[in-house]
Amino acid sequence: MTEPTTDMSGLRRARQRTADILFSRDREDPWTQRFDVVLILMVALNVVAVILESVATIRADWGAYLHAFEMLSVVIFSVEYVLRIWSAVDNPWETKFRSPTRGRLRFARTPMAIIDLFAILPFYLGLLVPVDLRFLRVLRLLRIFKLTRYSGSMTLLFQVLRQEARTVGAAMFVLLLILVIASSLAFIVEGDAHPSGAFSSIPATMYWAVITMTTVGYGDVVPATALGKLLTAVMAIISVGMVALPAGILASGFSAALQRRRDEVEDRIEDALADGDLTAEEQAEIEDLVGRLNVSPADVRALMTATRRSAGLPCPHCGKSHWAAPWRGGPVRLYGVKSSGTTFGTS
Amino acid sequence: MTEPTTDMSGLRRARQRTADILFSRDREDPWTQRFDVVLILMVALNVVAVILESVATIRADWGAYLHAFEMLSVVIFSVEYVLRIWSAVDNPWETKFRSPTRGRLRFARTPMAIIDLFAILPFYLGLLVPVDLRFLRVLRLLRIFKLTRYSGSMTLLFQVLRQEARTVGAAMFVLLLILVIASSLAFIVEGDAHPSGAFSSIPATMYWAVITMTTVGYGDVVPATALGKLLTAVMAIISVGMVALPAGILASGFSAALQRRRDEVEDRIEDALADGDLTAEEQAEIEDLVGRLNVSPADVRALMTATRRSAGLPCPHCGKSHWAAPWRGGPVRLYGVKSSGTTFGTS
Amino acid sequence: MTEPTTDMSGLRRARQRTADILFSRDREDPWTQRFDVVLILMVALNVVAVILESVATIRADWGAYLHAFEMLSVVIFSVEYVLRIWSAVDNPWETKFRSPTRGRLRFARTPMAIIDLFAILPFYLGLLVPVDLRFLRVLRLLRIFKLTRYSGSMTLLFQVLRQEARTVGAAMFVLLLILVIASSLAFIVEGDAHPSGAFSSIPATMYWAVITMTTVGYGDVVPATALGKLLTAVMAIISVGMVALPAGILASGFSAALQRRRDEVEDRIEDALADGDLTAEEQAEIEDLVGRLNVSPADVRALMTATRRSAGLPCPHCGKSHWAAPWRGGPVRLYGVKSSGTTFGTS
Amino acid sequence: MTEPTTDMSGLRRARQRTADILFSRDREDPWTQRFDVVLILMVALNVVAVILESVATIRADWGAYLHAFEMLSVVIFSVEYVLRIWSAVDNPWETKFRSPTRGRLRFARTPMAIIDLFAILPFYLGLLVPVDLRFLRVLRLLRIFKLTRYSGSMTLLFQVLRQEARTVGAAMFVLLLILVIASSLAFIVEGDAHPSGAFSSIPATMYWAVITMTTVGYGDVVPATALGKLLTAVMAIISVGMVALPAGILASGFSAALQRRRDEVEDRIEDALADGDLTAEEQAEIEDLVGRLNVSPADVRALMTATRRSAGLPCPHCGKSHWAAPWRGGPVRLYGVKSSGTTFGTS
């Protein structure tokens, strides 16, 4: 009677181990590392394969190999997807997927699970329904989104995008206003001067307006009348300022978000150094925080030295006060020094 | 004798209710909400209709329907305009429109009232005076400006534009200087090399100069001489820095304005939390302020948690001090919120 | 014997008055105002005249009038230049021009005096030496620089340019590096593929490289080989980041400079309000400082209210504390309110 | 027996002096100055020579002179390289090159030493192996990197690049995602509409996509179908925001890095002024720090005056308190300096 229990328990341990490997962020575990390397490599190779397969000569010569690789990829990504659904209940970072059925369904609705599903779905759909082969091939590129799991900075980028969504949206609305008005004016002014029909309707004119306002300026459609040229010049000047605005707002938001993260690490470092030295445990905690917040190591080093110095603590390397050292000594070294981004605490 | 008074009073109540619906920003009132939805929908449909009507084939097939929709729109917007003028005296946010005649005239001169008038005026003018039909149609696009009423972020954008007007103006003046000088030099250098007449006068050359300096670069007019190419290269390098300057100044100004608003909310939160907890009334006040200042809810949440933490207050959810939690435990998470731009207050 | 003295003294008074009018920044003096308006108008009309004169048909029809206007302009600007040199010794803001000969020579070497000289010199040179008429006409555009005298913001712009010169220079040096290397590579890769000779030498290739790196992208010269296209794509990606860098640095520097000025005004306001109220004298001093530092009035109003509030002073308009008012009351008014760029202190 | 020692000691002294000249940044030493001037001049002339030599007519007429100059350059740069390797053991700023063999090998692997080697290597390789002459000539342009030694600001630029590498990398990854997806969609939509083959494969389409997304927009490849034009418009709008993001992040990072350096100098100045005056030694130390950190002198002057003022110290020139002066008197001026980016310390 205990056997099935033991068996279940063995399966359970396997499931737990699988969840550890699939969902962990612990870079120390060798199996997590191996899994991550394989997955990243598979996605990268898939993207390269799709791009190469689109070249007619390569498809003719290497088609069979590319097809075999696609089969292999589908198998690997399918197994990965099934394992993720299966082990989601043991996800160590999330308790709301605990329930066997509901929890798994809930997990299947998370953005990353949907991305994983879309990586394999087109293949199985292609088996059932006849789909344009070229389109099907390109759909494989969706697999690239599986990499978002590994980019902490990209997560930050999306957070900033969401946070600044309202102001960026306002700038976009103003751009839409300018676009609609400029297109309409150009349609009235240039409408009859183009036998090609480039300004024959407002939607047609909008293509030209977007290409001009984003400063792409192909030149396949250009104003022909003097009034149209004046309108284009005014529009170019206004849009050059407005179009760069969303990017500027995003960049500022990005900087501010990074600064907030640095400040948080700084607070923690100050707290850790308050008692005069840094224990191994405190060091580990700070490193953990730094990893999770995606702060660059150079920043952390600078923050630590600055905190030490302002607290009047001696340099951990030379044992001397940091106030004494930096003003004397040699110039900033270029040769053979891995220059550090900061000038604090060169000992 | 009391009847007319009662009647007047009924009319007055109707007027007051109308003013409440038309001028209120109280999202809780269902009639205000319905009115706003109808207005936004009407404007959006109007813009789409004008754009579609400019396509010859659509106009041929659906012209009658589009005309009927235009009639309906004019009626709706006319009724709205008359109601606004009529009920302006009861505008709950403004006392200077109180006087029946003068107040209404004063109201009719406000920017939003003028926008509302321009949304219907072209139609009535078209009945009286024969106007080019195509131009008349496009004038309907002015209705899009009615939406500015609903965009708090856009209001902020215009405030920043006005606030930075002097510095942006200075950058624009420098650009104008460069434009005039570059056009004149190109006119001298390239003047005779273009049979098309693209450089035949300074105004003609200015079109080329603007298209180059804004980096649109259609390529319909390009320098032909070696000296002209050198001039173009120098001009492109200088202008690429100067042209991006106004956008950069605006983006900085925008960020600073948002920061000031966040600071104001922060001050208020600190004040509310000074006594150790947050009453329902204080919460309502802060929400009101947040709504009026157009600060994003994510920011507010972060500010509140940061304030709590620095005041040494316990987390309202877990009852623990916020200083203990964040360095241990799982990935970054905000109080039951999927993810946010900040990392404060991980529970 | 006293007569010449009186006469001299009369002349001296005239000179002093002239200096007051020409060099003053006192906008209250009606003669200074009139002189400024005439000068700005003359310069603007001169620029318009030169631009119009470059159009052949306008020159044919209106040449005589334009010539007469040019004569008038030369007379006015010559008189202005002579008066400036003559009265420089009485310049109220500068003591180093006091000496009759040396002081005047020193004054003649200041940037603004040189600009004033260059506004008239071409005309007199044209009388002596035969110069290309077209070139001479365009030289008149230099008069536009006389306006720099009136733009405080532009002065700030040039100060920021000078202050950030080293970092902008470094970014420019990196761009030069990329330009030289990209041009050389393109010359090797594309050199033989273009019968037009667009890539026949490194200098020729540099024109294409600058047009590409600044994202102008005329399209008159495009890569023809696959390797050339790859090189162009890489170059476009790198340069799009590097080219925007100088503008970004300048914009940041600009914002910082404006902030420093606001801070200085804020310091002064805090100082003035330290005793609880604002005397007329203090108000005048702050207005003077604001004028000299070119800070926008909206900023000043915000600073004053913020200072008042943080000092616990009552609002000068309503007599109530600013802490009480803002959280209650109505939403942000749009209709009929000259919105103020800030939300502090709406009473 | 002592002779060789003396001889060695003489050689050693020569080596030490060579190291001083080659590695020093002491601008006071006349020989260091001369060496620097010669080196910068040689590099600049080499770049000009390579560029000129690529022009067929110049190569025909001046080929012999250009060849002679190349010989001279190789000799000079070879001697320089040998001297650097030889004297590296006496590098005054670095102790890890002390060992005669290992230290020199370690030195030879530093970035600057590799740049120095690449400046001469192509010439010697060309003697041994037959290489394309044109390619060999262009390789000489690598000598331009020898100038990086002299640009402190450029070092800062690279530090900022490295520091922001992760966030810039994330933005680049998002751009890569957009590029791959946009190229694939355009390949599907436009693939068959272009006989020229511009959209015949994804790699071919990528050239068009990069040229569009960076807003270069040559116009040599443009979408032909309505769907393709819609795709292009959407892509242009998205990319115009994303492409400017890395530059914005870099610019912000740059400003922050400069600010940190200014803060460090400010700390030092405050420290030096803590005792009420500035000794010659303190002045020298600050100047040294300013030189090493590459802070602009205008900033330093402003910082010093601000520190003095906030410390209540009198102006060193007029002896008056700085709080009294600035609100009265004439236009803004800095201590005998024509104009500056700050307004502190008007006397």
The pLDDT mean for chain D works out to 77
User: Residue D191 and residue A135: Cα distance in Å, rounded?
Assistant: 12
Kindly report the nearest CA distance between residue A155 and chain B, in angstroms.
Answer: 10
Structure confidence at residue C295 (pLDDT): 64
Identify the three-state secondary structure at position C120: helix
Picking from B188, B236, B289, the nearest residue to C138 by CB comes out as B188
* C289/D327 touch (CB, cutoff 8 Å), yes or no: yes
Query: Which secondary structure element, helix H or strand E, spans residue A283, and what is its range?
Result: helix A280-293
Mean pLDDT of A6-34: 79
pLDDT of residue A223: 93
Q: Could you tell me which residues of chain C have a Cβ less than 8 Å from any Cβ in chain A?
A: 215-219, 248, 251
Q: Say which of B215, B219, B251 has its CB closest to residue D219.
A: B219
Chain D residues near residue C245 by CB distance under 8 angstroms: 247, 250-251, 254
CA C76/CA C41 separation, integer angstroms: 12
Contacts with C340 from chain B: Cβ below 8 Å: 159
Tens digit of pLDDT for each residue in D86-131?
A: 998 888 777 788 888 898 999 999 888 999 998 898 888 888 888 7
Contact status, residue D193 vs residue D228, Cβ threshold 8 Å: yes
Q: Is D267 exposed, middle or buried (0-12, 13-18, 19+ CB in 10 A)?
A: middle
How near does any CA of chain B get to the CA of A38, in Å?
Answer: 24
pLDDT given at position B4: 46
**CB burial string A181-206: b at 16+ within 10 A, e below:** bbbbbbbbbbbeebeeebbbbbbbbb
Q: Cβ distance D194 to D200 under 8 Å?
A: yes
Please name the chains neighbouring C, where neighbouring means 3+ C-beta pairs under 8 angstroms.
A, B, D
Q: What mean pLDDT is predicted for residues B79-97?
A: 87
Q: Is the pLDDT of residue B231 over 90?
A: yes
Q: Once rounded to an integer, what is the mean pLDDT over residues B314-336?
A: 37
| Exposure class string for B126-141: b at 16+ Cβ within 10 A, else e | beeeeeeeeeebbbbb
**Exposed / middle / buried, residue A156 (Cβ in 10 Å: 0-12, 13-18, 19+):** buried
From D8, D36, D22, select the one nearest D91 (Cα to Cα): D22
Contact C268 D327 (CB under 8 A): yes
Beta-carbon contacts of residue D184 (< 8 Å; ≥ 6 apart): A50, A54, A138, A141, D202, D205
Average pLDDT over residues B89-117: 86
In SS3 terms, chain B reads as CHHHHHHHHHHHHHHHHHHHHHHCCCCCCHHHHHHHHHHHHHHHHHHHHHHHHCCHHHHHHHHHHHHHHHHHHHHHHHHHHHHHHHHHHHCCCCCCCCCCCHHHHHHHCCHHHHHHHHHHHHHHHHHHCCCCHHHHHHHHHHHHHHHHHHCHHHHHHHHHHHHCHHHHHHHHHHHHHHHHHHHHHHHHHHHHHCCCCCCCCHHHHHHHHHHHHCCCCCCCCCCCCHHHHHHHHHHHHHHHHHHHHHHHHHHHHHHHHHHHHHHHHHHHHHHHHCCCCCCHHHHHHHHHHHHHHCCCHHHHHHHHHHHHHHCCCECCCCCCECCCCCCCCCCCCECCECCCCCCCCCC
Contact residues for B285 (Cβ-Cβ < 8 A; gap 6+): B268, B272, C327, C328
Q: Determine the average pLDDT of the residues in B88-94.
A: 82
Q: Which residue of A has its CA nearest to D186?
A: A138
Gap from D5 CA to chain C (nearest CA, Å): 47
Give the model's confidence band at C138: pLDDT under 50 very low, under 70 low, under 90 confident, else very high.
confident
Cβ atoms of D156 and C170 closer than 8 Å: yes
B152-163 vs B226-273: helix axis angle to the nearest 10? 120
* Per-residue model confidence as pLDDT tens digits over D67-78: 999 999 999 999
For residue C180 the two structure tokens come to 């030289």
pLDDT value at C26 more than 70: no
Bridge partners, B259 (sequence order):
none
Q: pTM for this structure? A: 0.79
Confidence of residue D252 (pLDDT cuts 50, 70, 90): confident
- Over residues A135-161, the mean pLDDT reads 78
Nearest to B88 by CA among B20, B149, B29, B5: B20
pLDDT tier for residue B325 given thresholds of 50, 70 and 90: very low
Mean of the pLDDT values across residues A146-169? 75
Read off the pLDDT of each residue in C330-346 and give the average, rounded to a whole number. 30
pLDDT for the residue D308? 61
Q: Read off the pLDDT band of C324 (50, 70, 90).
A: very low
Higher pLDDT, C85 or D191: C85
In the structure, what pLDDT confidence band is assigned to residue B129 with cuts at 50, 70 and 90?
confident
Q: What is the pLDDT of residue B146?
A: 86
**Complex confidence, ipTM:** 0.76
Q: What is the mean pLDDT of residues D231-238?
A: 92
Beta carbons of C200 and D56 less than 8 angstroms apart: yes
Distance between terminal CA atoms of chain C?
68
pLDDT of C72: 94
Residue C301: per-residue pLDDT: 66
8 Å CB contact between C330 and B93 = yes
Gap between the Cα atoms of C202 and C215, Å rounded: 19
Q: Which tokens hold the place of C194? A: 């273009």
Task: State residue B321's pLDDT score.
Answer: 43
pLDDT value at A344 more than 50: no
Q: pLDDT class for A186, splitting at 50, 70, 90?
A: very high
The pLDDT confidence band at residue A341, using thresholds 50, 70 and 90, is very low
At position A122, the amino acid (one-letter code) is: P
Instruction: Tell if the CB–CB gap between A219 and C215 is shorter than 8 Å.
Output: no
Q: What is the pLDDT of residues C69-121, one digit of tens each?
A: 999 999 999 999 999 999 988 887 777 888 888 989 999 998 889 989 988 98
**pLDDT value of residue C127:** 86
Radius of gyration of chain C (CA): 29
Give me the residues paired with residue A321 across strands.
Answer: A314
> C262: which residues sit within 8 A by CB, 6+ positions away?
C295, C299, C303
pLDDT given at position B69 = 94
Contact yes or no for B213/C215 (Cβ under 8 A): no
Residue D322 CB neighbour total at 10 angstroms = 21
B303 confidence band (pLDDT: 50, 70, 90): low
Number of H helices, E strands in chain A: 12, 0
Share of chain C above pLDDT 90, in %: 25
Cα(B265)–Cα(D121) distance, rounded to whole angstroms? 64
Q: Please, which pLDDT band fits residue D146 given cuts at 50, 70 and 90?
A: confident
- Summarised one tens digit per residue, pLDDT across range D281-314 is 777 777 767 766 666 666 666 666 666 655 555 5
- Mean pLDDT of the C276-283 span: 72
Return the residue of D nearest to C25 by Cα.
D331
**Residue C302's pLDDT is what?**
65
Interface probe, candidates D85, D211, D292, chain A, greatest A C-beta count within 10 A:
D292
Which range among A57-61, B287-291, B304-308, C57-61 shows the weakest confidence by mean pLDDT? Answer: B304-308
Give C-chain residues touching B165 at CB under 8 angstroms. Answer: 296
What pLDDT, on the 0 to 100 scale, is given for residue D153?
Answer: 63
Looking at the predicted structure, is the pLDDT value of residue D324 above 70? no
pLDDT surpasses 80 at C55: yes
Are the C-beta atoms of residues B88 and B97 closer than 8 Å to each other? yes
Question: Chain C contacts of D54, Cβ < 8 Å?
Answer: 184, 187, 201-203
Confidence of residue D228 (pLDDT cuts 50, 70, 90): very high
Buried b (16+ CB within 10 A) or exposed e, A43-72: beebbebbbebbbeebeeeeeeebeebbee
pLDDT for res A325: 31
Q: What is the pLDDT of residue A66?
A: 92
Indicate the pLDDT class of residue A8, thresholds 50, 70 and 90: low
> What's the mean pLDDT when you consider all of chain C?
77
The region of weakest confidence among A144-148, A273-277, C261-265 is A273-277
Q: pLDDT tens, C213-267?
A: 999 999 999 999 999 999 999 999 888 878 777 877 787 777 777 777 777 777 7
Tell me the mean pLDDT in the region D25-43: 82
| Mean pLDDT, residues C308-331 taken together | 44
pLDDT band at B7 (very low <50, low <70, confident <90, very high): low
Task: Report how far residue B285's alpha carbon sits from residue C326's, in angstroms, rounded to the nearest whole number.
Answer: 10
Contacts of C268 (CB under 8 A, 6+ apart): C285, C286, C289, D327
Mean pLDDT, residues D167-192 taken together: 86
Count of beta carbons in the 10 Å neighbourhood of residue D236:
24
Specify the pLDDT at position B137: 79
* Of residues D260 and B37, more confidently modeled: B37
Contact C335 B251 (CB under 8 A): no
Predicted confidence at residue B221, as pLDDT, reads 92
CB atoms within 10 A of CB C93: 13
- Which of D245 and C320 is assigned the larger pLDDT? D245
CA dihedral angle for residue C58, residue C60, residue C63, residue C64, rounded to 10 degrees: -130
pLDDT band at B144 (very low <50, low <70, confident <90, very high): confident
**Mean model confidence pLDDT for chain A:** 77
Rounded Cα gap, residues A243 and A237, in angstroms: 10
D337 forms beta bridges with D334
| Confidence grade of residue C334 (pLDDT, cut at 50, 70, 90) | very low
Residue C108 to residue C97: CA distance in whole angstroms: 10
The subunits that touch chain A, with at least 3 C-beta pairs less than 8 Å apart, are B, C, D
pLDDT digits (tens, 9 = 90+) for A70-83: 999 999 999 999 99
Q: Out of C180-184, D64-68, D147-151, which region has the weakest mean confidence (pLDDT)?
A: D147-151
CA distance A305 to A325: 13
Q: Does residue B320 surpass a pLDDT of 80?
A: no
Question: Residue B300 in contact with residue B294, Cβ under 8 Å?
Answer: no
Quote the pLDDT of residue B335. 29
The per-residue pLDDT for C84 is 92
Q: Which of A236, A248, A249 sits opposite B211 (nearest CB)?
A: A236
Tell me the pLDDT band of A302, cut-offs 50, 70 and 90. Answer: low
Q: Which positions in chain A touch B332 (Cβ < 8 Å)?
A: 292-293
Contacts of C191 (CB under 8 A, 6+ apart): C199, C200, D134
